[in-house]
Amino acid sequence: MSNLLRKNIERKIPLTDEEWNCIVSKAELIKLKKNQFLQIQDSNNSYEGFILKGSFKTYILNENGTETVIFFSFENEWMCDLESFYHQKPTTYNIKAIEDSEILVINKTQKVQLFAAIPKLMQFHVLMIESANIAIQQRLLDVLNKTSKQRYLDFKERYPQKISTINNKNLSSYLGVSHEFLSKIKRSF
């Protein structure tokens, strides 16, 4: 399964077998059942991870106990609480498996060690951060400029194989609408 990670990295930079073995030696495989947490809000346990199998939701729990889903992450995607990971601050988000999942993770210390051992990984790192920033900007623009119906259609088009695995509670939170309104949107198609 870790070959998915190697292919993902090698789309941007070539790796020798020795470099790949170094990466594998630093990564940890975590298997989570549906509804298990990878990260809990306000903890001191943050990872950068590559999803091999399954799906995750990244969300905050508001003071009134309401969940606000910020992102969904799926197979062959990277996931990270950026501020917590890079600045070693308490975590901002909860990250929870929404189906049985497997993720390769690395902590900040291990990543620094990889940069020292394989300097060209910095190039890959920069490309990852650029992609993350673009995704965050796009999410913000979508929330500000698109209707909930447009956001639903965009999500359905981007992740047709996953739309059925996300329950209405999570999807309505992500779209910023009530369950009833989401049901109305779905019925219109």
Alpha carbon distances (Å) from 94 to 5, 8, 129, 130, 156: 23, 25, 20, 23, 24
Question: By percentage, how much of the chain surpasses pLDDT 70?
Answer: 99
The pLDDT of residue 1 is above 60: no
Confidence at 164, pLDDT banded by 50, 70, 90 = confident
Q: Taking the model in full, what pTM does it have?
A: 0.90
For the segment 7-24, the average pLDDT, to the nearest whole number, is 96
Contact criterion met (CB below 8 Å) for 114 and 22: yes
Distance CA 20, CA 43 (A): 31
pLDDT at 100: 97
